Structure 1
Amino acid sequence: MKSSTAKRHHAPLTALDAANVVWAGGFWGDALERTRTVTVPGMWGSLSDPAVSPGWRNFLIAAGDADGQHEGPPFLDGDLYKWLEAAISLLETSPDAALEASINDIAAKIAFVQREDGYLHTPTRIAERNHEQAQALADRFNFETYNLGHLITAGVRHHRVTGETVLLDAAERAAGFLENLATNHTDQLARSAICPSHYMAVIELYRATGNERYLRLAETFVAVRDDFAGGDDNQDRIPVREQKAVAGHAVRANYLYAGLADLVAETGDPELTEVLERLWRDVVDTKLYITGGCGALYDGASPDGNPEQGQISRVHQAYGRPFQLPNTTAHNESCANIGMIFWSERMLALTGDAAYADVIERIAYNSLLASISLDGTRYFYTNPLRQVRELPFPLRMPGETALRPVPEPPASDARLRAEYMSCFCCPPNIARTLAQFHERAMSTSAEGLWVHLYGSADVHVEHEGRGIGLREVSEQPWGERVDFTVTSVTGGGIPLKLRIPGWSEGAAITVNGEPAAAGEPGTYATIDREWQAGDTITLALPMPVKMVRGHRLAEEITNQVAVTRGPVAYCLESQDLPAGVRLEQIALRRGTTFTPVETDIEGRRIVALDCEAVVLPPAEGQGLYAEVGDAELATARVRLIPYFTWGNRGASEMSVWLPLAW
C-alpha cells in the first residue's frame, strides 16, 4: 500500500502522511476511530439507500443498471466523491480488504459512467441515456467543474493509496475535458468555475503524475478567471492579483485561495504569495469567528464592490464587511470552515508561520468538531454562536432529512444536527477532513521536523540520511503536557521544531529533564542535538482560562465576553442553567474564577468550566424596548462546555458570547 505526500517545489514544508505519522489513541485517535467505524460507514448507508439519498442510485441509472431520472442537487456527484476520498483515506491508516474491494467496485462504476471526453455529470449522463436533450455546462449552478475537481482529487488519492489506476485514469480524462474548455471554451469555463475544487485538484494531479500540462492548466484557470467579468459572489469581479479584501461566498473564496496557494507552491510566484497573505490576514483580522467560523451572513451583497448601484450583486453565505459577525444568524457553513483549513495549511507550508497553524487548530477544535455530533452520526450545515428560543422567523436550512419532506421544526429547535440533508456537501467534507487529519500534525523541511498540532501519535521520519522515531503522548486539548520519547535514531536524528501556540504564555520545554528554550507564543521552538533512543522531551503549555472581548467595531458582541481555555472556545447551553433561569439572564463579572472540571457528554470525556455567574432580572413584557428595572442582581453557579459539544443533549439554547456585568 502506497502513501506519500508529494513535495512542493516552492513550499519549504512537506506534510507527513500515514507512512510517517499515525494517531495512537488520544483525542485525535478517538476522532479517527469514530470516523472509521461510524461516520464513513453510516454515510455510505445513506448515500447508497434510495429511500434516503439518490447519491449512488444516480450513478447506477447513468450506468444503465437501474431505470429512472436524476434526483437530488446537481453537486451530489461531488459529495459522493468526497465520501469516496474519506473512505480511501481510511485505508492508509487502517488497511481493510473488504473496504478496499468496495472502493474499487465504486471506482470502476464511476469510470464506466464517464464520457470518453472526460466529462462526467450524472444529470447529463442520465438524460443522454434516456434520449433526452442535455447540454454540458448549461448552467453555472450545475457545479460540473466542482464535481470534476472532487473526482480528480479522489482519483489521485485512490492511486496513491492502492496503486490502482482506474480512478486516476478517470481523473486524467476529467482534466483533459477541463483542458479543452480552457483552450476552446474559456467563457464557459470561467462562468462555471464556482466552488473551484478543480484548482486544487489539477495541482494534485500534476504532483501525482509529474505531467506539467496539469500545472499549466492551473495557470490557465487563473488567466481565464481574470479575463471574465463576474461578481463578488464568485470572487471574479476583479483579477485575483488586484484583490485586497475577501468578499463573497465563503466556500468559493476559501477553495479559490487554497488552490492559488497550491499554484504558488509549484511556481513560487511572489506577487501571488503577497496577495494570499494579505487576503488571509483580512479574514483572520476582521472576519473570522472566535470558533473559526467563516462566512457570517446567510445572504449579503457587495456594497463596496462597485460604485454603481445596479452592479451590486447578491451574495449567498457571504463574508460580510469587516467586523460584521452576527451570532444567532451566523451562517458559517461547515464547508467554509474546512476550506479555511485547506487555505491555512497551504500557507503554513509556504511560510512556516505558526499563525497559520494557530488558525487550523482553532477551527479544528471548535467549528470543525461542532459540525458533527459526538457519536459521529449527525451533522450541522451552519454553525451559529448563539441559539435562542421562539425565534420569530425560520432560519433557512436544508429542509429535508431524506427524500421525504419532514415538517419544519420549531424555530428554537431549527439547528439540530441531521443524519442526512438534501444539501449534503458538508458531511462528506467533514469525514474526509477527519480521516486525513494526521496529515496536518507535522511537516518536514531542511530545518527539521515541525510539530504543528499535538496529540498522541507514532512518528518516523527520514530526511537526507538522518532520521528519528518518536512516540508522542498528549492529553490535549484538556491537559497541558505533551511528552515525546525518541524511539529510534538514524545519523544523529534531526532537529525538532515544536509549535508554541499563540494562546499559550509561559511554555516550558525540558529534554531529559533539563530545561530548553521554549520561545515566544506564536513561534516554533527548535531543539537541535544528537538524539539517542530513549531521550525524552516534555512540552508544557499552560492553559489558563481567558475571558475574551471583541473589537470595538464588532457591534454584536459589544460589552460581551467569550471564554476560552487553550485552543477550545466555550459556550453556555440551557441544559446547564439553574431551574427558572433563562439564557439571556446570565452575565459574567470581570475577574470571574473558572474551575476546570472533568466530566462527559454522551460518554465523551471533556473538561467543562464551572463558575459563579450573575443572574440578571428577567425582562419585563415583550416589547421591543423596556425600561431597566432596579431589582437586585442574583448569582448562580453555571457550567460552560466546549463549543464543539453543544447540541448533543437535545434541543437547547446556547451562546458563546455572554454579557459582561461590570
Structure 2
Amino acid sequence: MPTTTERRAHRPLAALRADQARWRRGFWGDVHQRTRDVTIPTIWDSLSDAATSPGLRNFRIAAGLETGTHVGPPFMDGDLYKWLEAAVARLETDPDDALAATVEEVAGLIASVQQENGYLHTPTAIAARNDEEAAPLADRFNFETYNLGHLITAAVRHHEVTGSTVLLDAARAAAGFLEHLAADKPLELARSAICPSHYMGVIDLYRATGEERYLRLAQAFVRVRDDFDGGDDNQDRLPVRDQTVAAGHAVRANYLYAGLADLVAETGEDELRAVLERLWTDVVGTKIYVTGGCGALYDGASPDGYPWQGEISRVHQAYGRAYQLPNTTAHAESCANIGMIFWSERMLALTGEARYADVIEQIAFNSLLGSVSLAGSEYFYTNALRQVRGLPYPLRRPGDTGQVVVPEPPPSDERLRQRYLSCFCCPPNIARVLATFHERVASLADDGVYVHLYGGSDVDVADGHGARLALREDSDYPWDGRITFTVTDAAGALPLHLRVPGWSSGATLTVNGEPVEVSAPGTYTRVARTWAAGDVVVLDLPMPVRTLRAHRLAEEVTNQVTVRRGPVVYCLESADLPAGARLEQAALRRGTALRPVEATIGDVRVVALEGELVELPVHDGGALYDDLEDGPLRPVPARLVPYFSWGNRGAGEMSVWLPVVW
C-alpha cells in the first residue's frame, strides 16, 4: 500500500514517487530499461576510467588516495554528483547490490574531501595538497555554487533512498558554507552564483529536513542576486522581479527560474510567480524550437539593440531575441532543454495547468531523447535542427579543458553523438532525468490524480482520507493515440484527471464503454466516480500527420514547414533520399499525404512517415548569388523519421524544416 504523497500549501500538485508511479511497459518502459542497463553503467565506465575521464580521479587525488593535478573543467565535480543521483534513482526502482556498493564507496569518497567549513571543490583541494595557491570563489567561473547545488540534491536523494546520512551530513555542511557566504560575503556569493543549481538544492534540503534555515537561505540567494550588478549572461543584470523576457545563457536561466519556482511553492509569493509565468510564456511563445530545444545561439549580444554600445557583451548559449531560431547553428544544449523540463514541471505543480505538461512532453519526445543515441551510450551536447555537408566553418563544441586525451570530434558536416565529451555535463544530466522520469507520470492533488504523460505506466496512489486508485496504462503511445487505463485496485472516489494534449483535436473518452465529455485540448478532463477494480478508461487521441509553419518573424524557416504526428517531430535524413538527391533539393508539396509506417532504426522500433517529396532543380555552383534554376519539379519517394532517431545510422545530412511548394 503506497504512502500518501505530501503536498505543499502553495503547490497543489505533488509528483509521485517510485512506489506510486512507474514506467512498466511500452515506450517509456523501454527507455527506462535502456537507462538502467546501458546509460547509467556506461557513464560510470567513463567517469571511473582515468584514461577517459578525470571525474573520479580528481576526487581520489583530493582525498590523498592518488597524486596528481586537477584535470578537466572546474564544474566536473557536478558531473559525478549528477551520475550519483541517477545511480541512486536506479537503486530505488531496480535494486542492485553491486551498484549499491559503488554508490556508498563514492559517497564516502565525496564526504572525505569536504572541508570542515562545508566547502567542497576538488580543484581547490588538489591545489592545496600540491602547495599551490588557490582560494575559494577566486573566479566566478569556477562554478563552486553550481557544484555544491548538485551535491545537495544528490545527497537528499541518496538519504531518501538508502537512509544513509553520509551525504546528507555533507549537504548540511555545504548549505552551512553557503549560509556563511550569504551572511558575511554576499558579493562573493552573488558573483559566484553561476548556473544556480544551489537554488533547487537548498529547497530540496528544506523539504527533506523541514528546517526553516534552508528556506531562508534560498530567499537570501535571491536577495544577494538582486543587489549584484551583473549581466544577462547569468541573469543578474536586473533584479529577478524586474525581468520581463528570458535572456542570456539558457542553462543558467532555466536553472534559476526552476529554483525560483521551488521557492514560490514554499512561500506562495504571487509577484514572483507572475514573473515566472511571464518569462516562461516568453520562452514558449518566441524562443523555443519545435523540438523543445532552448538557447538558440552559440553567442548572442546582450542587451539586444541597446543604444549604449559599451554595455553590450557577448552571451554564450543565449536565448537571443524573439523568433531568432537558426537551424544549422542551433545550440540548444542538452542541459538547457533539461532545465526547461525542471522549470516546466515546477510551474505545473504550482498551477495545475496542462500547458506546462505539454512542453515537458514536447521536450521529452524530441530534444531530450534526441540528445542520447538509440543505443543509450552516446550523446549530443548541442542539438541542431539541420546538418549539412561542406560547412565552411567548424561548429564549436565543448573543448578539452584539461589534459585528458579525448577523440577528435568529427568534421562539422558529420556531427555524431559521442560516448565521452571533455565537457561532460550533459550525459549525467540526461541520465538523472531519464532515471527519474517516472516522477513525471502523474501528480496527486486535493481534487484527485492528474496523469500528465502517457507511454506505459502503473500508478497507485492514496489521498490520506481512505481513497485509493491504482491504474495500469496500456498503449502504443506515441505511435498510436489509443490509451487504455485499467483500474487494478480502488477504494472510494478519487477523481481522475487525464491530460488532453494541446496538439490534439477530436479526442474521445469512454469509461466502461460509455462516452464521457472531453475538455478542450491543452486541459485535463476530469472523471469523477466511485471506482472498482476492472473499470476501463479509454482516451483516444487522433494522430493525423500535421504540417506546421513558423511565425512570420522566424526568418530562417520562411516558406518552410515541418511535420509532426502526435507529440513527435519528424525530420528528413539524407539516408532516406533516393540516390543522387540532395537534402537541399527536397521540398514538400502542399497537401501531400504522408502515411505512417513501422520501421526499425538500430534495434529500436519507430513509426516513420512515407510519401512523395519534390526534388527542386538546384545546381550548387558555389556562387553566393545565382540565377534561379528553371526546370521541372520531379517527384521522389522519401521517408521522414522521428527527430530523436536521427544520426543513428552514421554520418549524413538532416533537416527538420523543408521548403514548401505548391
TM-score normalized by the length of structure 2: 0.98
2:184 maps to 184
- The match for 1:486 is 487
Are the aligned partners of 1:399 and 1:408 in contact in 2 as well (CA < 8 Å)? Answer: no
Equivalence for 1:129:
129
State which drifts further: 4-13 or 282-291. 4-13
Q: Residue 102 of structure 2 corresponds to which residue in structure 1?
A: 102
User: Which residue identity lines up with residue 167 of structure 1 in the other structure?
Assistant: L
Residue 332 of structure 2: aligned partner: 332
1:197 corresponding residue in structure 2: 197
Which residue of structure 2 lines up, in the alignment, with residue 54 of structure 1? 54
The answer on 1:458 being equivalent to 2:458 is yes
3-state SS of 1:562 partner: strand
Aligned 8 A contact 1:117 1:173 in 2: yes
RMSD after superposition: 1.4
Please say if 1:469 is aligned against 2:481.
no
1:19-418 alignment, distance < 5 Å: 19-304=19-304, 306-399=306-399, 403-407=404-408, 409-413=410-414, 415-418=415-418
Aligned-pair CA distance for 1:406: 3.8
Amino acid at match of 2:348: L
Partner-residue secondary structure (3-state), 1:248: coil
Q: Contact (CA 8 Å) 2:406, 2:422: kept in 1 or not? A: no
1:592-646 Cα shifts (integer Å, max 9, x gaps)? 1010001110010000000111110122511001111221110011000000000
With over 3 angstroms needed to count, the CA separation of the structure-2 counterparts of 1:600 and 1:160, relative to structure 1, is same
Per-residue deviation, residues 522-547 of structure 1 (Å, max 9, x unmatched): 01000000111111101101111100
Match of 2:437 in 1: 437
Which amino acid in structure 2 is aligned with residue 301 of structure 1? Answer: A
**Contact 1:3–1:18 (CA under 8 A) maintained in structure 2:** no
Deviations 1:462-508 (A, max 9, x none): 00221111111121111111111111112x23000000000110101
Mapped contact 1:3–1:92 kept (Cα < 8 A): no
Structure 2: distance between partners of 1:619 and 1:555: 23
Give deviations 1:38-59, integer Å, cap 9, x for gaps: 1111000000000000000000
Q: Which secondary structure state, in structure 2, belongs to the residue aligned with residue 419 of structure 1?
A: coil
**1:114·1:120 contact (CA, 8 Å) conserved in 2?**
yes
Q: Which runs of 5+ in 2 are unaligned?
A: none
Matches of 1:6 and 1:79, distance apart in 2: 30
Provide the rounded CA distance (Å) in 2 between the counterparts of 1:455 and 1:529.
24
Taking structure 1 as the reference length, the TM-score comes to 0.98
Alpha-carbon distance in structure 2 between the residues aligned to 1:298 and 1:255: 18
How far apart in 2 are the matches of 1:361 and 1:508? 20
- 2:447 alignment counterpart: 447
Provide, for residues 126-167 of structure 1, a one-character-per-residue CA deviation record: whole Å limited to 9, x for no partner. 111222212000001100000000000000000011111100
CA distance, structure 2, for counterparts of residue 537 and residue 3 of structure 1: 25
Moved more, 54-63 or 97-106: 97-106
Aligned in 2, Cα 1:6/1:229: closer, same or farther, shift over 3 Å? farther
Change (3 A) 1:599 1:412: same
Distance 1:634 1:264 in 2: 57
- In 2 relative to 1, CA 287–574 (structure 1 residues): closer, same or farther, beyond 3 Å? same
d(CA) in 1 for partners of 2:460 and 2:5?
Answer: 14
Q: Which residue of 2 aligns with 1:651?
A: 651
Contact in 2 for aligned 1:570/1:643 (Cα 8 Å)? yes
**8 Å contact kept, 2:441–2:457:** no
Aligned to 1:630: 630
Q: State the identity %.
A: 67
| 2:419 alignment partner in structure 1 | 419
Per-residue CA shift, 1:229-275, capped at 9, x if unaligned? 00011000010000000000000000000000000000000000100
Long gaps (5+) in structure 1: none
Matching residue of 1:495: 495
